[in-house]
Structure 1
Amino acid sequence: MISVELARSLRDAGLRWHPETGDRFVIDKPEVDDDVYTVSEMTVERHDHPTGTFLGFNGTTEWALDSVSAAESLWLPREDQLRELLGPSFAGLTRESGTDDRTVWTVTAVIAGEDRSFAAVDPAISYAQALAAYITAALE
Structure 2
Amino acid sequence: MISADRADRLRVAGLRWHPRSGDRFVIRRAGLDDEVYTISDMMIEPHQFSTGTVLGFNGTTEWALDSVAQEDALWLPGEDQLRELLGGTFRRLARSSEGYEVVIELAGRAQQVFTASAAADAYADALLALVGAAVDRQD
TM-score relative to the length of structure 1? 0.89
Query: Alpha-carbon deviation of 1:122?
Result: 1.4
Identical counterparts, % of pairs? 54
The 5 Å alignment of 1:1-140 reads 1-96=1-96, 98=97, 104-111=99-106, 113-140=109-136
Query: Alpha-carbon deviation of 1:111?
Result: 3.6
Instruction: Work out whether residues 111 and 133 of structure 1, in 8 Å CA contact, stay in contact via their aligned partners in 2.
Output: no
Query: Alpha-carbon deviation of 1:95?
Result: 1.5
CA separation in 1, counterparts of 2:134 and 2:60?
A: 40
Query: Alpha-carbon deviation of 1:60?
Result: 3.6
Moved more, 111-120 or 29-38: 111-120
User: Number of aligned pairs?
Assistant: 135
Q: Which runs of 4+ in 1 moved over 3 A?
A: 60-63
TM-score relative to the length of structure 2? 0.90
Structure 1: segments with no counterpart, 5+ residues: none
Query: Alpha-carbon deviation of 1:65?
Result: 2.5
Instruction: Work out whether residues 43 and 61 of structure 2, in 8 Å CA contact, stay in contact via their aligned partners in 1.
Output: no
Query: Alpha-carbon deviation of 1:125?
Result: 0.9
Q: Which amino acid aligns with 1:137?
A: A
Instruction: Work out whether residues 6 and 128 of structure 1, in 8 Å CA contact, stay in contact via their aligned partners in 2.
Output: yes
Cα-to-partner distance string for 1:21-63 (whole Å, 9 max, x where unaligned): 0000011223311110011111101101111111001124545
Q: Which amino acid aligns with 1:56?
A: G
- The 3-state SS of whatever aligns with 2:16 is coil
Instruction: Work out whether residues 95 and 106 of structure 1, in 8 Å CA contact, stay in contact via their aligned partners in 2.
Output: yes
Moved more, 107-116 or 74-83: 107-116
Structure 2: segments with no counterpart, 5+ residues: none
